[in-house]
Amino acid sequence: MESCCRPPTASQFLVKAAALTEGSSGSHSNAIFVKGGVSHVGTREPVIIADGEGPERKLHVRDFFLEAETVTNERFADFVAATGHVTDSERLGYSGVFYSLLSKDMKARHAPQRKSWWVKIDHANWRHPEGPDSNVDGRLDHPVTHVSLNDATAFARWVGGRLPTEVEWEHAARGGARRSRYPWGNEEPSDEATYCNIWQGTFPHTNTLRDGYLGTAPARSFSANEAGFYNLVGNVWEWNADVFRVRSLSRASKHRNGLAKASAEQLLKGGSFLCHASYCFRYRIAARMGLPPDSASSNVGFRIAYDLI
């Protein structure tokens, strides 16, 4: 089932992804030490049960480092310049773009398919997020988008890091083992109260832009949580190191897990600028999504974790 959060996958476009390119070495960026210990993943009060937000599970977390913000266009450009990496979107020759982000000319030439708000745009990729008539000039400090799991993993290897696990990501977002719905606490964001970059108005047709952004915001926008992390919810979905799995014995969950396993779905956390409580209430810490590893779109990015040396 399609949602505002879930873009079309490469398999839906009936094209096979190519293998990733290996990187070499790069530099860390604003990594914050996170003290481990007994923590938890999930919630006792799931909102979207089908996504596997519950049950809450107690887990042990080792000490680790996590970057304060998602990887930006500028850092990804440095990676590409140093390694010659070609992203999956570039190899495929297209990517999924949210319709409202397109230029007037591109909207006239493309219409959403099957009453969707996602459009297959040729030559859309991290360099050209809304297609060939766009670029990242003026957005170098925004999170890189149109990156697959393969691309994120290649970048992580280049900087000597890795993607965070779900429990690490949630532990950092909550600022420890405490229970909170959002990185800033339990206060509900709304069309008037803007704590993060999500949709305001009536999705998908009207965005009041109360938070100042139709698409992505700078990686260091809004207030950091107490631990110093920016935009762990909203802005862009973040690839995680774990595979996507729903922990339930229900028939629906078994079916969902079967689909996820068939397409090797990987976990993403955090929601994106397209989320809204009326439709895609996935900007909560416990919220989650799964996508095939070659998936990329306007609202998918990543951040880097590091093991203690």
Q: Which residues of 138-174 are buried (b: 16+ CB within 10 A; e: fewer)?
A: ebebbbbbbbbbbbbbbbbbbbebbbbbbbbbbbbbb
Residue 1's pLDDT band (boundaries 50, 70, 90)?
very low
Whether residue 10 is predicted with pLDDT greater than 50 in this model: the reply is: no
63-91 average pLDDT score: 98
Instruction: Give the pLDDT confidence score for residue 101 in this predicted structure.
Output: 97
Find the domain containing 256 and state its range. Answer: 31-307
Instruction: Give the pLDDT confidence score for residue 180 in this predicted structure.
Output: 95
Q: Which residues of 253-262 are buried (b: 16+ CB within 10 A; e: fewer)?
A: beebbeebee
Whether residue 20 is predicted with pLDDT greater than 80 in this model: the reply is: no
Q: Which residue has the higher pLDDT, 176 or 80?
A: 80
Q: Which residue has the higher pLDDT, 248 or 280?
A: 280
Contact 44, 240 (CB under 8 A): no
Q: What is the pTM of this model?
A: 0.90
pLDDT digits (tens, 9 = 90+) for 21-57: 233 356 666 899 999 999 999 999 999 999 999 999 9
In a domain, 18, yes or no: no
In a domain, 10, yes or no: no
In a domain, 8, yes or no: no
In a domain, 5, yes or no: no
Instruction: Give the pLDDT confidence score for residue 270 in this predicted structure.
Output: 98
In a domain, 23, yes or no: no
- Number of domains comprising the chain: 1
In a domain, 133, yes or no: yes
Whether residue 14 is predicted with pLDDT greater than 50 in this model: the reply is: no
CATH code for the domain of 131: 3.90.1580.10
In a domain, 17, yes or no: no
Instruction: Give the pLDDT confidence score for residue 8 in this predicted structure.
Output: 54
DSSP 39-74: EEES-SS-SSGGGT--S-EEEEE--EEEESSPPBHH
Instruction: Give the pLDDT confidence score for residue 262 in this predicted structure.
Output: 87
Share of the chain above pLDDT 70, in %: 89
pLDDT digits (tens, 9 = 90+) for 158-203: 999 999 999 999 999 999 888 999 999 999 998 888 999 999 999 9
Residue 224's pLDDT band (boundaries 50, 70, 90)?
very high
pLDDT digits (tens, 9 = 90+) for 253-280: 888 888 888 889 999 999 999 999 988 8
In a domain, 150, yes or no: yes
Residue 11 to residues 14, 34, 88, 106, Cα–Cα distance (Å):
5, 37, 13, 24
